[in-house]
Structure 1
Amino acid sequence: MVRGQRMPEADADQLRVIGEKIRTSRRAMLSVEAFAEASGVSVGQISRIENGTGNPSVESLLRVITALGYDMADILEPEVSDRTVVVRSDERRTFSSETTPYSIELILPTMSGDMSVTYCEEQPGEIRNADSTIDGDVLYFVIDGTMDIEKDGHTYRLGPGDALLVGFPHRNTVVGDTVVKTVQMFRVGGLMNE
């Protein structure tokens, strides 16, 4: 493409799809201001990338993708709604970021999209503060152990087989001397907002 020449519509469409994936994933973790600080990319450039209106450098795009904790394939992988995906327990990818400093395992193959499903283990005595900048909520399903989840002055004690749908921010505390094992389903914007 020659400088100043309009981008072909097919390329512009691809940039919009990539931008939407980045926006959806970023909103699940950080405000645009906090994300700009974490990635080293300006708020304006992030906005252009997310809207598919900019022509980001490869370096800017890689900074954004890395700050999300992704590989390039996570963003470029096409969305196929009718495919069947098997994720074996010993092949789950791990994920962590600046806002999620502990490691979680992805049950779905990526964290891009409106929904993510993860498997987490929390150690006895561990306390996790769920970030207040996240726009959405999470469904916790406890497989093993006991945990307290504090939200708005209320404490909910969960044991094996219990589930709780809760918005952000909230705090998790492992109770007792057993590792807490959970499956967590998060959706941007929140299940509770529908």
Structure 2
Amino acid sequence: MQRTAPPIAHIAAALRRERERAGVSLTELARRAGVAKSTLSQLESGTGNPSVETLWSLAVALGVPFSRLVEPPTPAVRVVRAGEGARIPSEQADFAGILLSAGSLHARRDLYLMEMEPGAERHAEAHIPGSVEHLVVARGRLRTGPADDPVDLEPGDYIAFAGDQPHVYGALEPGTLAVLVMEHPR
């Protein structure tokens, strides 16, 4: 299954737009997000290869949903075929998120397909305050939830937990696949 790379040009434009909207300098945003200024500069210039952790840190520092940094504008009807979509890998684990649908200004939710393999867990930092994660396991087995109290899930199992607290994802079987709805406060 071949996935496309993240839309670097869109990420660059979105980072500049959101940083300017927030009224913060490149240096200040880098400090708030805990990333190197050179990394942020490369991302805003359309070079570099951002990880999901870097983009989440920047989104939290900007107070915006992750999807606002990675989702290009969508047409009225949008189809994402299996094997397509921008695949954003983790630095920590064999984990990738594929944004399927970003919420609009009126519906603050994002829809992701998550691919995971056993091995290292992905430890996610807190997202913007009031975020809630809703997850359904489609294939395989998964350990997820609050970092201090994760839950083992099987196909068809659903979990909801506060996304504004540290949390974890870890595949327990090869080929684990889950659908995640990230709910953001207005």
TM-score in terms of structure 1 length: 0.53
- Range 32-41 or range 115-124, more displaced: 32-41
Distance 1:66 1:127, change over 3 A: closer
Distance 1:65 1:39, change over 3 A: farther
- The one-letter code sitting in structure 2 at the alignment partner of 1:62 is S
Q: Distance in 2 between matches of 1:90 and 1:131?
A: 28
Distance 1:92 1:102, change over 3 A: same
TM-score in terms of structure 2 length: 0.54
Which of 132, 141, 152 is the equivalent residue of 1:137?
132
More helix by share: 1
Question: How many residue pairs get matched?
Answer: 145
Q: Deviations over 1:113-142 (max 9, x none)?
A: 74322111211234111213x222321110
Q: Distance in 2 between matches of 1:36 and 1:63?
A: 20
Confirm whether residue 115 of structure 1 aligns to residue 114 of structure 2.
no
Secondary structure of the structure 1 residue equivalent to 2:33: helix
Pairing 1:3-152 to 2, within 5 Å after superposition: 18-19=17-18, 33-35=31-33, 37-40=35-38, 61-62=44-45, 68=55, 78=73, 83-96=76-89, 102-108=95-101, 114-132=108-126, 134-135=127-128, 136-151=131-146
Distance 1:160 1:173, change over 3 A: same
* 1:11 matched residue in structure 2: none
Listed as ranges, the gaps of 5+ residues in structure 1 are 1-14, 24-30, 43-57
Distance 1:78 1:174, change over 3 A: closer
Q: Deviations over 1:69-106 (max 9, x none)?
A: 99xx967x5577xx121111132121247799943222
Q: Distance in 1 between matches of 2:151 and 2:33?
A: 31
Q: Distance in 2 between matches of 1:165 and 1:158?
A: 12
Listed as ranges, the gaps of 5+ residues in structure 2 are 1-13, 23-28, 57-65
Contact 1:142 1:183 in 2 (8 A): yes
Structure number with larger C-alpha Rg: 1
Pairing 1:153-164 to 2, within 5 Å after superposition: 153-164=148-159
Contact 1:145 1:159 in 2 (8 A): yes
- The one-letter code sitting in structure 1 at the alignment partner of 2:98 is E
- The one-letter code sitting in structure 1 at the alignment partner of 2:170 is T
Deviation at 1:182, TM superposition (A): 0.5
Q: Distance in 2 between matches of 1:158 and 1:21?
A: 41
